[in-house]
Amino acid sequence: MAEHSESRRLATILAIDIAGFSRASERDEVAAARHVRALREQCAETAERHRGRIFNTAGDGLMLEFPTVADGIGAALDIADSVRAAPGMLPIRMGLHLGDVTVLANGDLIGAGVNVAARVQQRAQPGEILTTGDVRNLFATQASAQFTSYGSVQLDKMARQVSLFALARHGEKVRYSFWSRAKNINPWIRSIAGAVLGLALGAGLYMALRPAAETNRHVAVTEQQSGMPVIAVLPFENLSADPALQFFSDGITEEIQTALSRIPGLRVISRTSSFAVGGHGKDRRAAAEALNATHILTGSVRRNGDAMRVSAQLLLGSSGEILWSETFERPVSETLAVQDEIATRVARALRIVVPESARAQSIDPKAFELYLRGREAWRTGSEMGKPPQAAISDLEEAVRLAPDFARAWAALASAYAQRQNWVSGPEQDALIAKAIAAANKARQLDPEIGEAYIVLGRFDPSSDWEVRRAIFATAASVSPNDDEVQMLYATFWLMETGQMDEARRVLARAYETDPLSELLTSNYAQVLGMTGDAAAIEKLIADRRPSWPDIDSYWSMVVPLKLVAHDYAGAREALGKAKAYFESAQSKFPDKNFQRFIDIMTDTITALETGDRALANKAAQHFRGELAKGQASAQGSLHALAILGFGDEAMAAAEELYIRHGYQAEAQADYPIPTRFPYARPTVSALLGVDAAKLRSDPRIWTIFASIGLAKYWLDSGQWPDFCKKDPGYDCKAEAEKALTTLKMN
């Protein structure tokens, strides 16, 4: 009898819970219960309007069923609106899935459809609605909602992978939180998470910060005054019948930016910033003002099968006057030629002489589409923080179909290089080998692609630093206007060899033409810290707060700089501001132990100010524990141990890390990064900034510089690190010669 009381059907399942409910109930159990009641009432009313029902409740969670995807989407959007509008209501997370369910006799639902919805909901950030690809594919052509790809992910405790999309009303900007971006984009942002969660004293994974007494000026403004045009390419409007082709119009926009950036005499605002302020219907003059651009390039893309129509307009930023306009109707196979042609016409309209270049190749339309899809998925998708395998698969198929497509090979090399940051052991080695092979192929096909040289320089296994210098110098010279290439050149070469002032100059220029990029902001803040310029970081925080409130987390970077300067009052003030941010963020990220960071930093400040060795030892104990978690955690502990007065321990750890390549064993860390760096070579910049002065006071550090080849490079090239030039009492040449002699004798 029981068998016949159960049935199976296809249903749209919406899973909901309250973000940070456990912590909220600890603070005020009555208020938390009130939130749950209000949410249930709102969900019941909304479900009824959309022909749905609540079939399960547990604690602060609810499960709802709807007969169609359209009903489920409408309900999710309405619930999100009502929660946002309710004063003081805690944020919620939602997951929406279409799948098979089993209906029990009591009306409850079980099965894969319910399980997937619950797992998707767990992946959502506070205030966010995530859907699976099954939902998006059935609803993608509707005008009432939009979907932003998160890529393919493997759900917790499940073998299957699903494609995830952020759901929002049409035209509504999908906003990613600080931690969501950190997971979805790349390891650079993760360095901030590392600083927050235990790399004490602001020494993050890619430790190295610093700045000179240089005022932050708008480079774009300077170039306007010098007569150099500064162009912002706003996202071209997608006029194709299929809204899902948005990736195609966005990709065309980015490729035109790339083509323009190759023209000497132009500065091009980077994608992150131009896309952030652009969009169809936006005020072009306001966009130009926000980006300090002299000119705006905008347009539209209409694709119909293998044919396309691209319209472009060049506007004067100050008045909106149209300086040039043209429409190109071509097959998709001639996309590269169209992009180069638009860039050339723009330059000529600005009276800039464009050097003759080889005719752009014809590209298989399917290969070009896969290339654009792969680029987009690599940028926006995520698999547990890693660039998605789907992006790599698309790019691999693109180069298979078009083996002479240099840009696709370069993109594939970068995708491999980024993904390897999140794995270790043989898998990491295999990805590095693939990255090198793809970069070499791109370089052979087009010697002017700086992106390929960055990958080659980063992973070059040679102990000869001059070889690496030549690779990175080529990258910088062939892509002088590519802000990402310049950023990586500064990070992987200039900072790694101690040229901090030059790194700061390069990063400042890149940052000023891409001021809304969180990635560039992160790297710029790091180089400011490595030069000891706390005031510049404070100004950066103030400048970026209106557009990126989560930058208040960067106060954690200011604390160690104040400590190095013995400004204990300033350190406490900075810690107080960091604490205020983390307390506000705790409800959104209940699994993050922000209080641990605050307690350790409080003990550190007190110990240094009072000379309390017992308290200093207590704080140091945390960092001793970090040494066992792998190279990244070990590197993050060096400065902390040295500043706390445990110099011998810090130097012993540094020798283990850099000379003996230790700390490579897998261990549980606070952030998902590999336990070893490429070719077992940790970043050296952590030893070269102002913040590493205590470590460098021990002459044994030159043994490290000699062992890794840096001492020889400095001696042969005469390109000494900044700390050698700024301390006249420090004879770097003598130290290098002595260390190299000792190394040969041993």
Query: Cβ contacts of residue 315 below 8 Å, gap of 6+?
Result: 284, 288, 295, 296, 297, 298, 321, 322, 323
- Pick from 479, 505, 530: which residue ends a domain? 479
The DSSP secondary-structure symbol of 90 reads: P
Q: What is the CATH number of the domain that holds 342?
A: 3.40.50.10070
Q: Are residue 147 and residue 42 in the same domain, yes or no? A: yes
Backbone angles phi, psi at 152, to 5 degrees: -95, 135
Q: What is the CATH number of the domain that holds 417?
A: 1.25.40.10
516-527 per-position pLDDT tens digit: 888 889 899 999
Distance CA 654, CA 650 (A): 6
Token representation of residue 264? 């000497």
Q: Are residue 465 and residue 498 in the same domain, yes or no? A: no
Name the pLDDT band for 213 (thresholds 50, 70, 90).
very low
Q: Are residue 204 and residue 224 in the same domain, yes or no? A: no
Provide the pairing of β-strand 230-233 with 267-268.
Answer: parallel
pLDDT higher than 60, residue 387: no
Q: Are residue 473 and residue 488 in the same domain, yes or no? A: no
Evaluate whether residue 34 is within a structural domain.
yes
- Pick from 479, 501, 522: which residue ends a domain? 479
The backbone region for 107, taken as left when phi is positive above 0, alpha when psi lies in -120 to 50, beta otherwise, is: left
The backbone region for 722, taken as left when phi is positive above 0, alpha when psi lies in -120 to 50, beta otherwise, is: alpha
- Pick from 460, 479, 498: which residue ends a domain? 479
Q: Are residue 201 and residue 291 in the same domain, yes or no? A: no
330-358 per-position pLDDT tens digit: 888 888 888 888 888 888 888 776 655 54
pLDDT higher than 80, residue 240: yes
Q: Are residue 647 and residue 586 in the same domain, yes or no? A: yes
Between 472 and 729, name the one with better pLDDT.
472
244-265 per-position pLDDT tens digit: 788 888 888 888 888 888 787 7
Evaluate whether residue 255 is within a structural domain.
yes
Evaluate whether residue 728 is within a structural domain.
no
Distance CA 455, CA 410 (A): 9
Evaluate whether residue 721 is within a structural domain.
no
Q: Are residue 456 and residue 519 in the same domain, yes or no? A: no
Q: What is the CATH number of the domain that holds 11?
A: 3.30.70.1230
Q: Are residue 205 and residue 224 in the same domain, yes or no? A: no
Q: What is the CATH number of the domain that holds 686?
A: 1.25.40
Q: Are residue 245 and residue 334 in the same domain, yes or no? A: yes
pLDDT of 99: 86
Query: Cβ contacts of residue 623 below 8 Å, gap of 6+?
Result: 200, 637, 640, 641, 644
Evaluate whether residue 727 is within a structural domain.
no
Evaluate whether residue 267 is within a structural domain.
yes
Name the pLDDT band for 575 (thresholds 50, 70, 90).
very high
Four-residue CA torsion sign, 210, 214, 220, 223: negative
| Degrees, nearest 5: CA angle 480-484-488 | 95
Query: Which of 57-66, 198-207, 373-382 has the highest mean predicted lDDT (pLDDT)?
Result: 57-66
pLDDT higher than 60, residue 231: yes
Evaluate whether residue 744 is within a structural domain.
no
- Among 721, 692, 710, 696, smallest CA distance to 203 is for 692
Q: Are residue 21 and residue 147 in the same domain, yes or no? A: yes
Number of domains in the chain: 4
Question: What pTM value is reported for the model?
Answer: 0.66
Evaluate whether residue 165 is within a structural domain.
yes
pLDDT, mean of residues 533-553: 90
Token representation of residue 108? 């409850």
139-179 per-position pLDDT tens digit: 754 546 788 766 556 676 565 667 788 888 876 655 443 33
pLDDT, mean of residues 189-212: 31
Find how far residue 302's CA is from the centre of its chain: 30
Are 194 and 181 within 8 A, CB to CB? no
Name the pLDDT band for 481 (thresholds 50, 70, 90).
confident
Token representation of residue 726? 């700024």
Distance CA 681, CA 292 (A): 40
Q: Are residue 578 and residue 611 in the same domain, yes or no? A: yes
Distance CA 92, CA 39 (A): 9
Q: Are residue 135 and residue 253 in the same domain, yes or no? A: no
Q: Report the DSSP beta bridge partners of residue 16.
A: 62, 94
Q: Which domain holds residue 344?
A: 219-349
